[in-house]
Structure 1
Amino acid sequence: MREALEGSQAIARAVAMAKPEVIAAYPITPQTHIVENLSKLVADGKLKSEYVSVESEFSAASVVLGAAAAGARAYTASSSQGILLMSEVMYSISGLRVPLVMTIANRAVGGPINIWNDQSDTMAVRDAGWIQLHCISNQEAVDTSIQAFRITQETGLPVAVNMDGFVLTHTMEVVDMPSQEEVDAFLPPFEFADALDPARPRSMGTLVDPGFFPEVRHSHHAAMGKALAKIEEIDKAYKKVFGRAAGGLLTVEGDKKAKVGILGMGSVVGTMMAGFEEFKDEVGPARIIKLRSFRPFPAKALRNAVKGLDKLVVIDRAISPGMGGVLGT
């Protein structure tokens, strides 16, 4: 059903249709409306979930880690300084290969304090071992959120769905919301084969010595590489059920024969596409590349996307001081 919804409201409803059993969050602008909407759905009895209001983002990440490790479908959301505060636990979640989903409402990391949008929060944890998917619109964020629950379950890797703070989270947009029946047909019940179970006692997160640790890290890296195909596969499966895809690893728009390309992630890609459409007679043809999967990074797909270009312009939304733009480097 097509509805005009604020981005945060649309995401909350999409997450609710995935039926998370545990939600834990600490409010931080511009993520707040997402968790407020989820909290209300739980309070009104429209979502059967345990909503845990915690005292910090570190605690939020810890709660969903424990919930998912015990075999529950779990979800959280955060932004900016909240991502930094939970970063220690984010490494534990991915290192223990615990499947769960988080929405990151992208916001600048201070100081000085800045509540508006860039991508410095998610770039700060780009090596935390999470799948990172970036959305250009609220529609894509809805579709990606639903896909994320299946991606994390089938890869054993946590998934961060990124949507630009305020630009998407607080903006009204017409969104085609799926039905619960469609989501149920696409998303199987949650299963985690390695979940902790008193009936079969086991340890999780035990001490690893230096001789074995590189093997663990390489296994994690290999799993990220395999996730590339899984992201594409699940996007195609989603299209069969819902009639639309969310962008796979990346998409190429504009003039495929152009010699100049422009690459970006997030809502800025929509601006790029609109701008080139309006001024194409003045600026000439261009190939627009929308990168959806930042981690794992689709190097092969990107090489194919830029083939034949003389120039590639990269729109960076975060800078690594002393190095330069993160996406461009």
Structure 2
Amino acid sequence: MMPQEKVMSGNYAAAYAAKLARAEVIPAYPITPQTSIVEKLSNFIADGELNAKMIDVESEHSAMAACISASSMGARTFTATSSHGLSLMHELLIWASGARLPIVMAEVSRAMAPPWNVWADHLDVIAERDTGWIQVFCESNQEVLDSILMLYRLCEMEDIMLPAMAIMDAFILSHTLVPVSIPDQESVDRFLPDFRLDLPIETGKRMVVGSVAKPDQYMEFRYKMALAMDKAAGRIPEVEEEFDRSFGRSYGGMIEEYRCEDADHILITNGSTVSTARYAVNLLREEGKKVGLCKLRVFRPFPAEEIQKVISDAASVGVLDRSFTFGHGGAIFSEVRSACYR
């Protein structure tokens, strides 16, 4: 079968991705601007297009608790949230990664109140960078769909087994309609095999879950998580190469370089801002200025070596953040500066 092209929002692209991935359990709580993701998935289920269980809960904290339960039993699990909803999940984000559960979440990045602001800002996501989740920022609606499929493929690998967020900017992507290529189900099934958990929780079977670990044992668990995150950095380009062979699209792996080969000045940014930055680079090139763009696609694990390499010959580097760490500065800027001196 051939892929279909439909005009849709970033939110619908996320919903189609979860459908194509054959998500089995979808716990969710609505919050602007992600609500239409789970509404669309509810429609898919009601219309018989997706064989999944939608769990309507009373809060985002409960949504992640249900995700943990479902994934622990071996179900491919999906959810979506935004802003204060993500913050309410914080405690259980750490549990999900510590339990090594490959949950995939669409996160529509939105400003935190006060004052109330439902538009794009990365503070909600940046505040969760240390929870052990893989974080991928998407530039376009197409990248939202593709990234969710690739994240399921990555996260369910036996030596990774970590949760992940596919992040899109509020309204700029979530509610803007553009053409998106939707792969056929047969091709996705070949790319993404069924999820099988080695040791799922089973009803009626006695098991010990979440027991106490002494400090030395606890350190071992955290060390293994760190190793898995490091391995993910190597596997992300591999998964993308496989995706490219299957569907003819790729996004550069951890970062994407744009006109950086001879650039004297390089701008680093992420999310939907990349599209504007790409246009600005083209205009500056027409003026004879050697400017390049480094798209930071993956924020966790952070691509320090890749960034070192791309900016090594530049005379100047600019970093454009969509968040601010109070008392320290921009989060991406801090990470890039740290990468320069590793």
Q: Which category of TM-score, normalised to the shorter sequence, fits these structures?
A: over 0.9
Look up the SS of the partner of 1:144 in the other structure: helix
Give the whole-Å Cα distance in 2 for the aligned partners of 1:218 and 1:107.
Answer: 32
The equivalent residue for 1:43 is 46
Does 2:57 align with 1:57? Answer: no
Does 2:292 align with 1:287? Answer: yes
Does 2:133 align with 1:130? Answer: yes
Look up the SS of the partner of 1:77 in the other structure: strand
Q: Please give the root-mean-square deviation of Cα atoms over the aligned residues, in Å.
A: 1.3
Q: Deviations over 1:109-146 (max 9, x none)?
A: 11222111011111010000000011100111111011
The structure 2 residue matched to 1:227, chosen from 223, 229, 232, is 232
After superposition, where does 1:281-320 map in structure 2 within 5 Å?
281-282=286-287, 284-320=289-325
The equivalent residue for 1:86 is 89
Q: CA deviation at 1:198?
A: 4.9
- Are the equivalent residues in 2 in contact too, given 1:144–1:246 (CA < 8 A)? no
Q: Deviations over 1:55-105 (max 9, x none)?
A: 100000000100000110001000000000001000000011111100100
Does 2:185 align with 1:180? Answer: yes
Does 2:215 align with 1:210? Answer: yes
Give the whole-Å Cα distance in 2 for the aligned partners of 1:293 and 1:201.
Answer: 39
Look up the SS of the partner of 1:174 in the other structure: strand
The equivalent residue for 2:112 is 109
The equivalent residue for 2:200 is 195
Q: Deviations over 1:190-213 (max 9, x none)?
A: 111132235764322211222322
Look up the SS of the partner of 1:94 in the other structure: helix
What amino acid is aligned across from residue 150 of structure 1 in structure 2?
R
Give the whole-Å Cα distance in 1 for the aligned partners of 2:272 and 2:102.
Answer: 27
Stretches of structure 2 lacking an aligned partner (at least 5 in a row): 335-342
The equivalent residue for 2:340 is none
Look up the SS of the partner of 1:270 in the other structure: helix
Number of residue equivalences: 329
Q: CA deviation at 1:255?
A: 4.0
The structure 1 residue matched to 2:168, chosen from 150, 154, 163, is 163
Q: Deviations over 1:1-44 (max 9, x none)?
A: 22211221122111101001100110101111111101111111
The structure 1 residue matched to 2:13, chosen from 6, 10, 25, is 10
- Are the equivalent residues in 2 in contact too, given 1:96–1:204 (CA < 8 A)? no
Q: Deviations over 1:267-322 (max 9, x none)?
A: 10111001221343347121100111100111111111112011110010110100
- Are the equivalent residues in 2 in contact too, given 1:143–1:246 (CA < 8 A)? no
- Are the equivalent residues in 2 in contact too, given 1:316–1:327 (CA < 8 A)? yes
The equivalent residue for 2:337 is none
What amino acid is aligned across from residue 72 of structure 1 in structure 2?
A
Q: Percent identical across equivalent pairs? A: 38
The structure 1 residue matched to 2:76, chosen from 57, 73, 78, is 73
- Are the equivalent residues in 1 in contact too, given 2:112–2:123 (CA < 8 A)? yes
Look up the SS of the partner of 1:262 in the other structure: strand
Look up the SS of the partner of 1:257 in the other structure: coil
Look up the SS of the partner of 1:320 in the other structure: coil
- Are the equivalent residues in 1 in contact too, given 2:260–2:310 (CA < 8 A)? no
After superposition, where does 1:233-252 map in structure 2 within 5 Å?
233-252=238-257
Q: CA deviation at 1:228?
A: 0.7
Give the whole-Å Cα distance in 2 for the aligned partners of 1:92 and 1:255.
Answer: 40
TM-score, scaled relative to structure 2: 0.93
The equivalent residue for 2:339 is none
What amino acid is aligned across from residue 44 of structure 1 in structure 2?
D
- Are the equivalent residues in 2 in contact too, given 1:118–1:317 (CA < 8 A)? yes
Give the whole-Å Cα distance in 1 for the aligned partners of 2:288 and 2:331.
Answer: 26
Give the whole-Å Cα distance in 2 for the aligned partners of 1:110 and 1:252.
Answer: 34
